[in-house]
């Protein structure tokens, strides 16, 4: 059993590393040959990414707990990653993704891809100003958010200024460990789910 768990974690780590390396192409950021966004540097892009993430999690009701995961920079792009610590049951994932997708559409984001996979559903979108944004479920049903900027001017990037609403973890962030009467419930809820 430990060997299987270790293998699954290693596989997930390799997939995450691969996505981080290829992230700007996947989310529509710098790797697609577009010109640099005039007047924006990496710090400005990081702040824009944070604003997109804050707005997205702000519409999720009841509130979910999340933590900052990482910031990465490429040759001319920046990505912010967040991890959701609230347990979102398999029965409630469609509702969670539906809330996110409706908000992104209302914000004029273009939905680029919806993966309705039962194990790892994902939605990828692009904002009107060229930022890629993604929500996906991974190992143990943990939800992750990522925003990747288009190509911007190089600069230093500071950590996010707003404190996460979840607890701070030293070292590796654990799998979801916060229960919610709504999101963790193992019964289906009537309502729209993400469109294919």
Per-domain boundaries in the chain = 2-148
Check residue 7 and give its pLDDT: 40
Q: If you search the block for the tokens 């640099």, which residue do you land on?
A: 36
Comparing C-alpha atoms, which of 63, 85, 96, 89 is closest to residue 166? 85
pLDDT at residue 191, rounded to an integer: 55
Going residue by residue through the chain, which has 196 residues, state the pLDDT in tens, using 9 for 90 and above: 444 444 444 444 333 333 333 344 445 544 444 556 778 999 999 999 999 999 999 999 999 999 999 999 999 999 999 999 999 999 999 999 999 999 999 999 999 999 999 889 999 999 999 999 999 999 999 999 999 999 999 999 999 998 899 888 888 999 999 999 999 999 988 655 444 3
Q: How far apart are the first and last CA of the chain?
A: 35
The secondary structure of residue 128, as a DSSP letter, is T
Amino acid 17: pLDDT: 37
Nearest-Å Rg of the Cα atoms of the chain is 16
Residues 6 or more apart whose Cβ sits within 8 Å of residue 103? 55, 56, 59
For the 2-148 domain, the top CATH level (class) is: alpha beta
């Amino acid at each position: 059993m430990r060997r299987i768990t270790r293998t699954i974690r290693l596989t997930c780590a390799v997939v995450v590393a691969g996505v981080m390396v290829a992230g700007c192409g996947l989310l529509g950021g710098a790797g697609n040959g577009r010109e640099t966004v005039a007047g924006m540097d990496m710090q400005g892009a990081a702040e824009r990414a944070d604003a997109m993430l804050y707005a997205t999690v702000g519409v999720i009701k009841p509130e979910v707990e999340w933590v900052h995961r990482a910031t990465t920079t490429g040759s001319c792009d920046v990505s912010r990653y967040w991890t959701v610590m609230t347990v979102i049951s398999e029965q409630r994932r469609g509702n969670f993704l539906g809330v996110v997708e409706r908000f992104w559409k209302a914000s004029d984001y273009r939905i680029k891809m919806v993966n309705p996979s039962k194990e790892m559903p994902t939605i990828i979108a692009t904002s009107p100003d060229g930022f890629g944004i993604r929500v996906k479920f991974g190992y143990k049903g943990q939800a992750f958010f990522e925003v990747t900027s288009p190509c911007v001017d190089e600069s230093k990037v500071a950590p996010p200024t707003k404190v996460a609403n979840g607890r701070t973890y030293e070292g590796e962030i654990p799998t979801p460990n916060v229960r919610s009467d709504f999101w963790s419930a193992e019964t289906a809820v009537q309502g729209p789910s993400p469109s294919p």
